[in-house]
Structure 1
Amino acid sequence: MSDQQLLGYIPNQTVLHRLSGAAKLICFILLSAIVMVGYDTRFLLAVSLFSITLFKISEIRWHEISFVVKFIVVFSVLNLVTVYVFEPEYGVQLYGNRHLIWEGIGRYTLTQEQLFYGVNLVLKYTATIPLALIFILTTNPSEFAASLNKIGIPYKISYSVALALRYIPDVQESFHQIGYAQQARGMETSSKGKLKDRIKGTAGIVMPLIFSSLDRIDTITNAMELRRFGTRKKRTWYAEEKFKRIDYLAISLVAGMTFTGIWLFAVNDGRFYNPFV
């Protein structure tokens, strides 16, 4: 195994680790949905602070997520830049006002409305990214599959989801191993090389990674077929856990936050909180 931290389940004894996988899934879906749909800045800020607090409680360390966070940050910045490039006054259209900050060049101006819209997008990322990382890093795949099956999802689908969660660190490990092999052949993929050489070296990892992944999938499929997986309508679970009081409390809390977000739709006469009125 490489010395890089792999993005997968990390055992611990925090309150978030003790929540059942199904409870965490329900909470994650509810909060992510209301955050993605709504644009009330006050609500987004509150959920962002809530997510950051949960992240602190989960005791996830920076070196365990640094790579994926940097990747997400780059993607988020590109998304913000793309929004501005294609529609530099989209915020003006949304909020119905135009308060100019910078005249700019041609149609590329900077307005308070566009800046405010960009802040909302940043808050959406800040609210949802920690939740996704918490879900992945604190959820035991086997227990999660059992929880999904318990709430009515067919066990074949539940087991597929569990395999996908287990497969994330495997893919990362293969990526690093292939990268080290490429470096041994003189292809630069480390941070010491030039950007052009690193891009070229990383591109050379893709095809071997795809073929190794397909080979692993074929091995797992054959093993499951040999064990007659899917021949029965039901199955038992070794890691199954019943809903506990803490699960109901967590779902109730998140449901309350979700209904608050929905209530704000009525308060704002729509999805957007408009301070420019």
Structure 2
Amino acid sequence: MAAKTVLNYLPRESVIHKLTGTTKLAFFLLFTFASMITYNTWVLLGLFAVSLAAFKLSKIKFREVRFMMIFMLVFLVLNNLFIFLFDPNQGTTLYGTRHVLCHLFWRYDLTAEQLFYMVNISLKYFVALPVAILFISATNPSEFAASLNSIGISYKVGYSVAIALRYIPDIQRDYHSISQAQQARGVELGKNEHFFARLKNSVNILLPLILTSLNRIDTISNAMELRGFGKDKKRTWYMKRPFEKRDFVAIGVGVVLLVVSMTVTIRWGRFYNPFV
């Protein structure tokens, strides 16, 4: 069975994949800024709908990015927990009202404003994550490097990022192969073993994985040096595609979303308070 990988390119025949790397980078930045500058629930819900629509258009299945979704949910729960533990009154401070639902213990009152604030925090993550996953999963690393170079970033930096994105799935496959070899030798990594025992056995995989990674990096470095990489100040790109109508439409949508988010934030404030 092939190793399951995350944060890797998933080729599809979709309108999202057909966009140029520069377009996807521009839309990602515009969409991220639009979601960052506001806590207005209605704006976030609108951005969330756009995010889900883009994910649907990409034809990428949920099971293919399930690990990232689960990781986000775990991080989200911990983030909200620590927000409440460190400052249970942050929501009341931001919204300017206080409606206590119940008293928990000591100084911890569960307020409607705090719950609403944490819902908005969670919504911001749900807005940004699908687009971030799309940006990684629907963009060929070489095309991404070309897009970085097209906005003025050195092609050496762009190429380094492309190699890193290509290298992540390789590391995961190497880890999977090494873990299977270790299990064949009697090293238990399954659920039947205790957690700390599995953790200790997993550490034993790191040394061969590091050695394999260093060997691959050395091979890539030698190959690039033999081909004269970095000799010239500019380079051409095989994956660089011309802009088409759909690219202008995608960037236009990103600009409209950013303008709407900024307009709502300036006119009605950054926080929407339903308790007034």
Gaps (5+ residues) in structure 2?
none
Aligned to 1:72: 72
Distance between the aligned counterparts of 1:102 and 1:186, measured in 2?
Answer: 53
Aligned to 2:15: 15
Residues 152-203 of structure 1: CA distance to partner in whole angstroms, max 9, x if unpaired?
Answer: 2221122112112212211221222232233234333334544343333334
Deviates more, 1:172-181 or 1:220-229: 172-181
1:100-119 to structure 2, matched below 5 A, reads 100-119=100-119
Aligned residue type for 2:197: D
Query: % of aligned pairs identical?
Result: 47
Per-residue deviation at 1:5? 4.2
SS at structure 2 position matched to 1:259: helix
Do 2:8 and 2:166's aligned partners in 1 also have CA atoms closer than 8 Å?
yes
Structure with higher RCO (Cα < 8 A, 6+ apart): 2
Aligned to 1:120: 120
Residues 86-135 of structure 1: CA distance to partner in whole angstroms, max 9, x if unpaired?
Answer: 11221112112111111001122211111001101111111111111111
Shift in alpha-carbon separation, 1:159–1:109, aligned structure 2, 3 A = same
SS at structure 1 position matched to 2:104: strand
Aligned residue type for 2:115: L
Aligned residue type for 1:113: E
Deviates more, 1:87-96 or 1:148-157: 148-157
Distance between the aligned counterparts of 1:183 and 1:68, measured in 2?
Answer: 26
Deviates more, 1:66-75 or 1:257-266: 66-75
Per-residue deviation at 1:275? 2.3
SS at structure 1 position matched to 2:101: strand
Shift in alpha-carbon separation, 1:61–1:23, aligned structure 2, 3 A = same
Distance between the aligned counterparts of 2:72 and 2:210, measured in 1?
Answer: 22
1:1-277 to structure 2, matched below 5 A, reads 2-269=2-269, 271-277=270-276
Aligned residue type for 1:75: F
SS at structure 1 position matched to 2:131: helix
The root-mean-square deviation of aligned C-alpha atoms, in Å, is 1.9
Do 2:8 and 2:136's aligned partners in 1 also have CA atoms closer than 8 Å?
yes
SS at structure 2 position matched to 1:101: strand
Q: Which runs of 4+ in 1 moved over 6 A?
A: none
Aligned residue type for 1:45: L
Could you state the TM-score of these two structures normalised by the residue count of structure 1? 0.92
Shift in alpha-carbon separation, 1:181–1:70, aligned structure 2, 3 A = farther
Aligned residue type for 1:111: T
Residues 201-258 of structure 1: CA distance to partner in whole angstroms, max 9, x if unpaired?
Answer: 3344444434433332222222211211111011111122111111111000111000
Aligned residue type for 2:8: G
Distance between the aligned counterparts of 1:222 and 1:238, measured in 2?
Answer: 22
SS at structure 2 position matched to 1:104: strand
Shift in alpha-carbon separation, 1:99–1:157, aligned structure 2, 3 A = same
Aligned residue type for 1:248: F
Distance between the aligned counterparts of 1:210 and 1:83, measured in 2?
Answer: 37
Aligned residue type for 1:250: A
SS at structure 2 position matched to 1:200: helix
Deviates more, 1:179-188 or 1:232-241: 179-188
Do 1:41 and 1:120's aligned partners in 2 also have CA atoms closer than 8 Å?
yes
Aligned residue type for 1:175: Y
Per-residue deviation at 1:66? 1.8
Per-residue deviation at 1:79? 1.3
Shift in alpha-carbon separation, 1:267–1:57, aligned structure 2, 3 A = same
SS at structure 2 position matched to 1:126: helix
Aligned length: 276
Gaps (5+ residues) in structure 1?
none
Aligned residue type for 2:82: T
Distance between the aligned counterparts of 1:128 and 1:264, measured in 2?
Answer: 19
Distance between the aligned counterparts of 1:116 and 1:104, measured in 2?
Answer: 17
SS at structure 1 position matched to 2:234: coil
